[in-house]
Amino acid sequence: MSFTPKQQSFLQWLKTEFPENTFTLEQIKPYMTPATWPLFGWLKTQGYIQEAARNTYKIVNLQTTINSYQEVTTTQQPIKKEIPNEWKPFLVGEIEEYIEQDDEIEDVITLLQEGPVLITGIKGIGKSLLAANIAKKLNIPRFILSCSKATDEEDVLGRYVDLGTFVDGVVTKAVRCAQDAGRALLVLEEVNAMQAGVSFVLHNLLDFNKMLVIPSTGEVLKVNGNGKLFIIATANMGYFGTLPMNQAFRSRFNEIHLSFPSEATQRRILRQHIEDGEVVESIIKAGEALRKAAENHDLPDFPSIREEVMCTKLFRAFSNKGLSPGKALSKAFTFTMAKFAEDNVQRETVKNLIRSASSIPVEFK
Ligand SMILES: Nc1ncnc2c1ncn2[C@@H]1O[C@H](COP(=O)(O)OP(=O)(O)O)[C@@H](O)[C@H]1O
Ligand SMILES: [Mg+2]
């Protein structure tokens, strides 16, 4: 029977750790075959060793023992200057510029040095775009886990696709990149939608020890001292219809809340896409009017910055097709903001609000 280097080093370490009167290699061998380690995984193997320990009539606190073993196997790799080719596809390409309201980019970068960061705010307010801009600015590979109720441990850690082939999950990939390239950004999108049982596997990674345990392979990954794994989570919560977040999970993050950008900031955001100041003003005013109506419960939902930007882009697209500003804007409003109505009464409300907010005359069919 032969052992893998990993198993050998573990056994060797057990021997030095328990020099007198403890399990010998021979005693553990039956429980530590090359077949059982990968097959049964780390947790089962722990069980086997525990049994072996009992056979020697010595009570061993195995968890502590194994934890300190993990400490000693942590490697200290120097950070590579160049990002290895394997990770280059994860670099963020051309994206929209995130326009700051209040130094968000530098604030989040500062927070990231200290630990995981949670970005909260309503839908379409730029949480994901902010995270992407940070990855781009720091030139670090970015890994996105889009969370939902259906997200399971295998999405996070990885799964066996066929006999013996383990495919890394998103989080595992991010950790390996941090180990290999020395840097990575993990983005947990809409993290409040993730079930508490699943988020639990991330606790160790979010804590200071930055460790990821993959029970099905028996691997324990640790981000080494030089490598940096930044973690950003985004969540849309605290509003009607949104999910609350597990407190034990939430407490592991420093939190930054994005509030709705001022008119001046909105102007700068929309001006990225079109020049026409009057159109930009009309879109901002229409958005504002619809948000007020939603606040008063006259409408079921409201446009966010995302819809304002979409409206701006559609205006540009229809203008480029030769439509007059009035016609192009009418179409842009129709396709981005008319959706915030559920019945004919609300549809009329939306149309009227947009008509009176827009300084450019708009017509709706
Ligand atoms: N501060 C901002 N600067 C530039 N664009 C923004 C900003 N906030 C929102 N947007 C626009 O809204 C869109 C949606 O943003 P996103 O980051 O996906 O929102 P969230 O993740 O909060 O739901 C972006 O693609 C962008 O067009
Ligand atoms: Mg998002």
Is 128 a pocket residue for ligand 1 (Cβ < 6 Å)? yes
Q: What is the Å distance from ligand 1's center to 348 Cα?
A: 28
- CATH classification at residue 239: 3.40.50.300
Along the 365 residues of the chain, how does pLDDT read in single tens digits? 455 665 566 666 666 655 554 555 555 555 554 444 444 455 555 565 655 555 443 334 444 455 444 444 444 455 667 899 999 999 999 999 999 999 999 999 999 999 999 999 999 999 999 999 999 999 999 999 999 999 999 999 999 887 678 899 999 999 999 988 989 999 999 999 998 888 888 988 998 778 888 887 878 888 876 679 999 999 998 666 677 888 888 999 999 999 999 999 999 999 999 999 999 999 999 999 999 999 999 999 999 999 999 999 999 999 999 999 999 999 999 999 999 999 999 999 999 999 999 999 998 87
Residue where one domain finishes, among candidates 257, 290, 323: 257
Q: Is 267 in the pocket of ligand 1 (CB under 6 A)?
A: no
Same domain, yes or no, for 27 and 172?
no
Are residue 103 and residue 235 in the same domain, yes or no? yes
Residues 28 and 132 in one domain: no
Candidate of 95, 190, 305 to mutate for ligand 1, largest count of ligand atoms within 8 Å of Cβ: 305
Residue 42: domain span: 5-73
Does 345 map to a domain? yes
Instruction: Give yes or no: residues 49 and 106 share one domain.
Output: no
**Are 277 and 248 within one domain?**
no
Q: Does one domain contain both 112 and 216? A: yes
Number of domains comprising the chain: 3
Same domain, 12 and 67: yes
> Same domain for 253 and 270?
no
Name the residue at shortest CA distance from atom 23 of ligand 1.
124
- The bound ligand whose nearest atom lies closest to the alpha carbon of 259 is 1
Diameter of the chain by CA atoms? Answer: 90
Q: Do 142 and 118 share a structural domain?
A: yes
- Whether 100 and 228 share a structural domain: yes
| Nearest ligand for residue 100 CA | 1
292, part of any domain: yes
- Same domain for 308 and 205: no
- Which of 257, 284, 304 terminates a domain? The answer is 257
Q: How far does residue 292's CA lie from ligand 1's centre (Å)?
A: 20
Q: Which of 127, 309, 310, 312 to mutate to test the pocket of ligand 1 (most atoms within 8 A of CB)?
A: 309
Distance (Å) from CA 358 to ligand 1 centroid: 23
